[in-house]
Amino acid sequence: IQMFPYFQLVPLLIQIRLVDDITTCDDKLIAFDDWGKHYSTMIEDIENVVAVRSSLAGMFGKKSLITSQWLHLAHECRKNNDLQTSKAFCSRAMTFDQSKLSTIACLLEKSKIEWQMNQQNVAILLLNQISAKYISKDHESFTEQEKEIYAKVKYLLATWSSANSSSDNETIKATYKDSYTLHETAKAFLGLASLSHEYARSILEYSQESTNADADLQKQPAQPSAPTKPLRNALGGPPTQAMRDKAAQQTGDMLQQVRKQREVDNKKIIDSKFWTMGYPRFDQYKSFVSFIKEALRSYFLAMNLSPQYSYEVIPRLLQLIFDFAKLIISDQEMDLFRFQTF
């Protein structure tokens, strides 16, 4: 018996399964099993599957199934980085079924293609259009299927807005919360936790840099240098006490101006969107603790929903705890045990 490599048998297996789809298909319940996930299929094989299944769905007027098949083909092409072909298949999918869910699914896939093509602003614009047109504040009226796809839209919108720095912190946090309110997923909680963790780390680093710079400035006041011999001769002799006092006063005034300028610069940084995340003139310590609470809560909720994220979450938790401990220990006036009630 001649043995064939597995990849040569896959097209034959797909043809056998397609024959099974044709013989078992009827107009009462037309649905296709996802048996393609069990095979390492080529794009050509997937195209054959889509062609046959679209023809069967068209026979019974199931336009939504035709759209889902072409969307699946667009998704596979995008995974293989054939973006232009994927975009063409996605546009074709939109021509079959004009229902709300099918339209949103096509726009969602199109936004993913645009993002992968480095058209970040176009991708975010598409998600904002979906959110503004279809996602109302009355979540109770949504079906479970609608909640699931709307949650995907909100999650991607929050993630991409954060990566593209196109929204402020409060908007991004609210979008993540909208996502897991619609449909709880570990990805939404993990995204919110990562965002809060990053902001907490940024505040800590900025605070430490400011503290170190102030300490260097306060270490030792600058002393006026002794005049050189030619300068002494020009001044008519060695410097008097009055000259020393005047030089020390000028040095002190200069240091005072430097400190005032640093305060102005710090205020500008604190008032900026990057550091304040929407909180002008915020208290750094309180904001740091707030972000820590949000990150810890979201990390644990993500692990609770999907334990497979534990390998990713636990190292982040350890880093978060050590970063948190550094700030608390350096503050001698704080009660270390009050934060155990998070």
pLDDT, tens digit, 9 for 90 and up, residues 149-197: 999 999 999 999 999 888 888 899 999 999 999 999 999 999 999 998 8
- From the list 94, 98, 96, the residue with the least C-alpha distance to 74 is 94
**Where does the pLDDT of residue 338 fall: very low under 50, low under 70, confident under 90, or very high at 90 and above?**
very low
Contacts of 204 (CB under 8 A, 6+ apart): 288, 323, 326, 327
Computed from CA positions of residues 316, 317, 319, 320, in that sequence, does the dihedral angle turn out positive or negative? positive
Alpha-helix runs per DSSP H in 80-143: 83-93, 100-116, 120-134
Amino acid sitting at position 227 = P
Question: Residues 196, 174: contact at Cβ < 8 Å?
Answer: no
pLDDT over 90, % of the chain: 30
Residue 279 pLDDT > 70, yes or no? no
pLDDT at position 272, please?
45
Average the pLDDT over 238-262 and give the result: 66
Mean model confidence pLDDT for the chain = 77
Q: Which of 202-206, 267-271, 318-322 shows the lowest mean pLDDT across its residues?
A: 267-271
Are 126 and 111 a contacting pair, CB within 8 Å? yes
Among 228-237, 256-265, 293-302, top mean pLDDT goes to 293-302
Residue 225 C-alpha from the chain's centroid = 54
Give the Å distances, CA to CA, from 36 to 33, 49, 64, 67, 72.
8, 9, 19, 17, 11
- In this prediction, residue 327 has a pLDDT band, given cuts at 50, 70 and 90, of low
Distances (CA, A) of 84 to 90, 113, 266: 10, 9, 48
Reported as a single tens digit per residue, the pLDDT across 86-111 is 999 999 999 998 899 999 999 999 99
The predicted pLDDT at position 283 comes to: 64
Q: In percent, how much of the chain has pLDDT > 70?
A: 66
- At residue 281 the predicted structure's pLDDT band, cuts being 50, 70 and 90, is very low
Q: Work out the pLDDT band at 1, boundaries 50, 70, 90.
A: very low
- Positive/negative CA dihedral, 161, 166, 171, 173: positive
Q: Which helix or strand (DSSP H or E) is residue 288 part of?
A: helix 284-305
Euclidean distance between CA atoms 258 and 280, whole angstroms: 24
Q: 136 φ, ψ to 5°?
A: -90, 175
- How long, in residues, is the chain? 342
Closest CA to 342 of 296, 298, 310, 303: 296
